[in-house]
């Protein structure tokens, strides 16, 4: 599980769903869809401390210079470790916001030419980011 610390920077709400932007300690922003509102979840307040949590299976990788995609949670990274399995490979990433892990299909390692030192972009689906508050 990836865990990053920050504070809530913006909240947009529609009915019982909020799109929450968390500003991480390194200044990068991560968005999350939360099935709560500031009225139903006391931790949803601008400026409140929040931890961003997401599973390693929810991290996508692509190469810099790739055509723009619709997901806003894009983090520049460098591969620093590969642990190959039969079906999946765990990829250790160094990023400006801290170390992250990703689990990707083993075939994708060769497809992307992943080796330690390779520059990539990690992408986390907005709908897969969880928040925890104080």
Residue 89's DSSP bridge partners are 84, 104
* pLDDT for 115 beyond 80: yes
Predicted confidence at residue 87, as pLDDT, reads 85
What average pLDDT is seen over the chain? 91
Q: How far apart are CA 25 and CA 121, in angstroms?
A: 19
Give the residue-averaged pLDDT of 80-104: 93
Predicted confidence at residue 46, as pLDDT, reads 96
Radius of gyration, CA atoms only, the chain: 16
Predicted confidence at residue 78, as pLDDT, reads 97
Give the residue-averaged pLDDT of 113-133: 92
- Tens of pLDDT along 38-85? 999 999 999 999 999 999 988 988 888 877 788 889 999 999 999 998
Give the long-range contacts of residues 64-70, CB within 8 A, separation 24 or more: 64/119, 64/120, 64/121, 66/121, 69/123
Look at the pTM and tell me if it is higher than 0.85.
Answer: no
- Tens of pLDDT along 6-33? 999 999 998 888 999 999 988 899 999 8
């Amino acid at each position: 599980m990836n865990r990053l610390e920050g504070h809530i920077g913006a909240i947009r709400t529609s009915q019982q769903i909020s799109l929450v932007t968390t500003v991480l300690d390194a200044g990068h922003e991560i968005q999350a869809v939360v099935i709560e509102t500031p009225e139903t979840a006391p931790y949803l307040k601008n400026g409140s401390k929040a931890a961003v949590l997401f599973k390693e299976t929810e991290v996508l990788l692509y190469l810099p210079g790739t055509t723009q995609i619709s997901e806003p949670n894009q983090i520049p990274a460098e591969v620093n470790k590969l642990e190959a399995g039969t079906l999946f490979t765990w990829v250790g990433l160094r990023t400006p916001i801290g170390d992250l892990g990703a689990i990707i299909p083993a075939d994708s390692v060769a497809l992307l030419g992943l080796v330690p030192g390779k520059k990539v972009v990690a992408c986390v689906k907005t709908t897969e980011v969880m928040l925890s508050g104080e």
